[in-house]
Chain A
Amino acid sequence: MNLIELRNLYKTYHLSELDVPVLKGVTLQVARGELLALMGVSGSGKSTLMNILGCLDRPSSGEYWLDGEEVSRLSADQRALLRNRMIGFVFQNFNLLPRTSALDNVIMPLSYTAQNLSDREARRRGVELLERVGLGDRMDHEPSQLSGGQQQRVAIARALINHPPLLFADEPTGNLDSKTSQEVLAMFQKLNEEDGITIILVTHDADVARHARRIIRIHDGVIADGPLAAPSEPQTALAGGGDS
């Protein structure tokens, strides 16, 4: 079964008597363990699609099945719980809580989890993840004491704290220089390969998209390339280039 299945998805914004259709019938399938890039210029509907996929927004019509669950009809609270359980987010501007240690930032989502973890268990998980992203020695640092790449790695650790099967990265390298960008993207690839986490990279940067195994282009509210397009050809070559 596919992790994500979109069927004929529409999204229309109502701006004072004016209907602005943004998504015009998107059909898409994403299997488990994919590393996917969602590309498109601004205004193409890329962000809207990501918001719907990330359960932050609801489609106007159409079906969205996430892990066998129809989420387009869920209430805001139910979607919040679903996000907590199923989805990790990595943002362009990191969105770390200021004046809060890296560790506390990482375990923050746990305070909204339905399953109750003891404080010690939560910290243990946070420490484990920070070590995994290579920040084992920076756990007590506040975001202002960390570099951009380190902050983004904290954000990735935070996204993974609930062991979500799905990870969204919205322009994850937009605020990073090219070297740290490569490191972060390599980390995504590693997570995808080792943990089998489905990762969706939202970007307008073709260089970033090339790290994905499959690229979906949105143009004018529809998917320009076929939703079932084969993984892009240069993937291996460029991934190798990214490692260098």
Chain B
Amino acid sequence: MKLYRTVRTAFRALQRNVMRAFLTTLGIIIGVGAVITMMEIGKGSSAAIQSRIASMGANNLLVLPGTAASGGISWGAGSVMSLTPEDSEAIAAQCPAVRATAPVVRARAAQVVYGSRNWIPMQILGSTPTFLDVRDWNNMAEGQPFNERDVRNANRVCLIGQTLVKNLFENESPIDKEIRVQNVSLRVVGVLARKGANMMGMDQDDLVLAPWTTLKYRVSGASSANNANQSAGSSSTSSSVNTLSQLYPNAQLNLYPQQSATQLADTPIPVRFTNVDQIMVAARSNEDISLAMQQITDLLRERHRIHEGDVDDFNIRDMTEMQSMMTDVNSRITNMLLFVALISLVVGGVGIMNIMLVSVTERTHEIGLRMAVGARARDILGQFLIESILLCLAGGAIGILAGKGSSHLMTRYMNFPTETSLAAVIAAVAVSAGVGIIFGFYPAWKASRLDPIEALRYE
């Protein structure tokens, strides 16, 4: 009751000079608006960056074959064939920090034909169904992903990305249509959901994903190392599949003279297995990445029988470094913006203090009168304090709207990613009330210390 009266008195006093009250709160409005806008922009860009990195494979590791070197000449990353699909399975089974793995076979960019249209996708990848798990890409726009059986039988099926849908199938559904990749026809069983471009601007939807066996053994143009591997005759497990590729004509050129059976027997190429080009690994979480790397290194060294002190025949790449760098940069920017916004809040608070001091001086008579009719010092203190808190809260409320509005406009016209930040709203309200109390206290205290006699006599 008492508080309600004080609030009403303060409100009436403010009502008497609406224009001045508004100008006083302008500082707070701008301050709070700035805080909200900054926080939302900061949070929005942070979220945008993180989701970009996540869709690129935030927690992903890439296990690549090592570097072959002969006579001091290095052949570059991936030039040895040291990774097998079994490695992939072993990593998934034996490394606790790993959520999923997928072996990946890459084919050279090749023309994909459907009907009278054609397109060269950026990536033609062969993998297992776990690939979608690893890439967090389980949602299909249409159809179903291929399964383990398709991989085992090297079935001629594939999944395609949205970019291919757009370029090959203008208005029709691609499901169960046959597309030809290097004269091998693959049945489209599913369409991947849109993933968008990755951080480097590469279109991730420009993708044909087939079982790795299909790509490796049926489609020519899989990476040259594999072909060499293949032509050299590979392990017994794949030989039966291998013959299938002869069912279809392929225009593969033999760049090197074919070896005869005797020559082959004389110079055995040390082929131990069916190799894959890389293994994609998803760690359980961001924090598990370094642990996963350690576990994978240990496991692969053991599996590949690498002696103590010898170099690894594989490389592990992680993207955490980039991600943590980006998050770090982002949080720094957010903090900086917040700091700037807080400065404007303080400036607004000082503005309120100045106006309240002027107001106290201007209303000395009123204060004296109120004291004469029975207001105690604490009543006066309360009234002026509540006046400034009301001003600040009103400023805060308008500021929240202004901040929301401006961040909305930013998103709309400047394409700035923003995200609603409840913390910013709470902080803004708390800060504006705090500013009201802190900067309103001195003028209010000054008013309450006035001597009623002096105040009444004041000219």
Residues on A lying within 8 angstroms of B by beta carbon are 51, 54, 56-57, 76-77, 80-81, 83-85, 89, 91, 95, 97-100, 104, 108-109, 111-113, 116, 158, 162
Which residue of the partner chain A has the closest CB to B366? A97
A112→B452 contact, CB < 8 A: no
Interface residues of B in 368-399 (CB under 8 A from A): 368-379
Shortest A85–chain B CB gap in Å is 7
- B453 adjacent to A112 (CB under 8 Å): no
- The 28 sampled A-B contact pairs (Cβ below 8 Å) are A56-B372, A56-B452, A57-B453, A77-B376, A77-B377, A80-B375, A80-B379, A83-B372, A83-B373, A84-B373, A84-B374, A89-B373, A95-B365, A95-B366, A95-B368, A97-B366, A98-B16, A99-B15, A100-B12, A104-B12, A109-B374, A111-B5, A111-B8, A112-B374, A112-B376, A112-B379, A113-B374, A116-B1
Question: Are A158 and B453 in contact, CB atoms less than 8 angstroms apart?
Answer: no
Contact A158 B374 (CB under 8 A): no
Chain A residues lying within 8 Å of B366, measured Cβ to Cβ, are 95, 97
Cα of A112 to Cα of B368 in the assembled complex, Å? 14
Partner of A112, one of B1, B17, B365, B370: B370
Name the distance in Å between A187's Cβ and chain B's nearest Cβ: 19
A98 to B17 Cα, complex, angstroms? 10
Convert B417-459 into 0s and 1s, putting 1 for each residue whose CB lies closer than 8 angstroms to a CB of A.
0000000000000000000000000000000000011001000
User: With A and B bound together, what is the CA distance between A91 and B15 in angstroms?
Assistant: 25
Would A89 and B372 count as touching, CB distance under 8 A? yes
- Cβ contact within 8 Å between A51 and B453: yes
Question: What is B's interface to A at a CB cutoff of 8 Å?
Answer: 1, 5-6, 8-9, 12, 15-17, 365-366, 368-379, 452-453, 456
**Chain B residues near A80 (CB, 8 Å)?**
371, 374-377, 379
Q: Are B376 and A85 in contact (CB under 8 A)?
A: no
What residues of B have a CB within 8 angstroms of the CB of A84 in the complex? 373-374
| Residue numbers in B under 8 Å from A57 (CB-CB) | 453
A125 to chain B, nearest CB (A): 14
9 new A-B contacts at CB < 8 Å, known A89-B372, A91-B369:
A51-B453, A76-B376, A77-B378, A84-B374, A104-B12, A108-B373, A109-B373, A112-B379, A116-B1
Q: Are A76 and B456 in contact (CB under 8 A)?
A: no
CB within 8 Å for A85 and B374 given contacts A91-B456, A95-B456, A100-B16: yes
A45 → B minimal CB distance (Å): 14
Instruction: Report how far A51 CA is from B456 CA in the complex, Å.
Output: 11
Expressed in whole angstroms, the minimum distance between the Cβ of B259 and any Cβ of chain A is 105
Instruction: Decide yes or no: A81 and B365 within 8 Å by CB, A104-B12, A111-B5 being known contacts.
Output: no
In the docked arrangement, what's the CA distance between A80 and B365, Å?
16
B374-A56 in contact (CB<8A): no
A100 and B17 CA atoms in complex are apart in Å by 11
Known A56-B452, A91-B456, A112-B379: A99·B374 in contact at CB below 8 Å = no
CA distance A77 to B379 in the complex (A): 10
Q: Which residues of A contact B370 (CB under 8 A)?
A: 108, 112
Nearest residue in A to B15 (C-beta to C-beta)? A99
Name the CB-closest residue of A to B8. A111
The CA-CA distance from A42 to B160 in the complex, in Å, is 102
From the candidates A51, A81, A99, A108, name the one contacting B376 in the complex (CB within 8 A).
A81
With CB as the reference atom, state the residue of chain A lying closest to B18: A99
A20 to B452, CA, bound (A): 20
- Report the bound CA distance from A91 to B375 in whole Å: 17
The interface residues of chain A lying within 8 Å CB-to-CB of B373 are: 83-84, 89, 108-109, 112, 158
Nearest CB of chain B from residue A172's CB, rounded to whole Å = 14
- A83 and B16 form a contact (CB under 8 A): no
B contact residues around A98 at 8 Å (CB): 16
In the complex, the chain B residue whose C-beta lies closest to that of A80 is B376
Bound-state Cα–Cα, A45 to B26, Å: 48
How long is the Cα–Cα vector from A98 to B375 in the complex, in angstroms? 18
Candidate in A77, A81, A91, A97 with the most chain B CB atoms within 10 angstroms: A97
Q: Most A CB atoms within 10 A — which of B8, B368, B377, B453?
A: B453
Question: A98 CB to closest chain B CB, in angstroms?
Answer: 7
A54: chain B residues at CB < 8 Å are 372
Distance in angstroms from B446 CB to nearest chain A CB is 16
Q: Which residues of the other chain, B, contact A113 by a CB distance below 8 angstroms? A: 374
Question: Across chains A and B, which 4 residue pairs bring their CB atoms closest together, nearest first?
Answer: A84-B374, A109-B373, A99-B16, A80-B376
Give the interface centre of A91, A95, A104 by most chain B CB atoms within 10 Å: A95
Q: How far is the CA of A160 from the CA of B151 in the complex (A)?
A: 99
The chain B residue with its CB closest to the CB of A81 is: B374
Cβ-neighbour of A56 out of B1, B365, B453 (below 8 A): B453
Q: How far is the CA of A244 from the CA of B79 in the complex (A)?
A: 123
Q: Complex formed: what's the CA distance from A108 to B8 in Å? A: 11
Q: How far is the CB of A212 from chain B (nearest CB, A)?
A: 22
Q: Contacts A91-B456, A98-B16 hold; do A112 and B377 have CB atoms under 8 A apart?
A: no
